Amino acid sequence: MQDVVTTKQINSPTIASGALRLFVHDCMVDGCDAFVRISSNAFNTIERDADINLSLPGDAFDLVIRAKTSLELNCPGVVSCADILAMATRYLITMVGGPYYEVQMGRKDGLISQASRVEGNLPRVNMTIDQLIAFFVAKGFNIQEMVALSGGHTIGFSHCNEFSDKIFNFSFASHVDPALNPKFAIALKKVCANFRSDHMLVTDPRTKPSWSCTPPTIRRFSLTSHVPWRS
């Protein structure tokens, strides 16, 4: 399984943040039960199709499928998708410079997944610090653990729609959130100028996904941008 994860990371350098996000979105709603396994049908819309989950990266789902296929060939019916996602996320976090931590096994894959259960069980980008603390406390986390989990946003990318209200028409007094660094805000506005009307981030050579077979350079990114932190 580790070989599958390593190969995926080499070919898709954003997979670490994608898998971590998928893992958190899975666990926050009814526990870590791998809702990735379940598809919507005419009678039920699943968690994956909830509004906040529509941007979950396909590469993360693909990683689980590839790892599951590899394991099933060697030990069919033993390792759950929930355990695969948990273990793969740990491998990837370690590979990009994050901490190593033990992962207990034995999760069972869920059989029920409902989009209606997602709202209210995942934090939103417009929450205040007090709302975030209350949200995580209700989930059984203290402030220190909340900060540690939030640190997962320091790798990967964020979608422009998640923070566009901070750089366009923020208020009558200012188009940009004054709490943002002015140069940082200008950079974000350039990157996200046409995000509602075209696929600029996919086609721009600075931001488009890399399909090169050459091992990519791992880079750390800021909480809400497509551009790396600069000192």
Strand partners, 41: 44
199 is catalytic: no
Write down the catalytic residue from 25, 153, 159, 226. Answer: 25
**Angle, CA 36 vertex, CA 35 and CA 42 arms, to 5°:** 80
> Any idea which residue has 């598809």 for tokens?
39
Catalytic residues: 25
